[in-house]
Structure 1
């Protein structure tokens, strides 16, 4: 896992939609935002707003951005730390 993957994974671990969008936006800005906007079917300024941390992007937009960044979302079971301690 490289630094970018770790950064995005940490954002998802917060369970905070704003943090997730902001992290995806930060990574997107390190790439070609114009190409990414085209790949997700949005104009560049709308994508910037959606991924600002202040926006409220639709889940479909998040999925498209994740895919365009070469990532995937994979559900994994939540580990119940209380039952692990027993």
Structure 2
């Protein structure tokens, strides 16, 4: 009898702002730009990609493209998405 599996989607488990912040902090700690972009995409999906795109002033399709696995969003796009998510970027020593 084969083992039955289902796809894992991190977006399904991001229910609170604290969970979102912890998820993004982990991505930023890694320092990999592609991972950070992917993590922002996961968070945007957890919040509703259409609503995040609207709040960021972007089309849904462009937001998906920018935050896709091979996407390379401009820093301005990252800032718009972070703001649309009700978050802010901070720098700490």
TM-score category, normalised to shorter length: 0.7 to 0.9
In structure 1, distance between residues paired with 2:24 and 2:74: 18
Aligned to 1:25: 41
Say whether residues 1:54 and 2:70 are aligned partners: yes
Task: Give the ranges of 4+ consecutive aligned residues of structure 1 lying more than 2 Å apart after TM superposition.
Answer: none
Say whether residues 1:44 and 2:81 are aligned partners: no
Number of residue pairs matched by the alignment = 77
Gaps of 5+ in 2: 1-16
Q: Secondary structure at the match of 1:2?
A: helix
Alignment of 1:56-75 (within 5 A): 56-75=72-91
Q: Secondary structure at the match of 2:90?
A: coil
Offset from partner CA, 1:11-52 (integer Å, 9 cap, x none): 011111110010010011011211111111111011011111
In structure 2, distance between residues paired with 1:40 and 1:3: 21
In structure 1, distance between residues paired with 2:18 and 2:51: 22
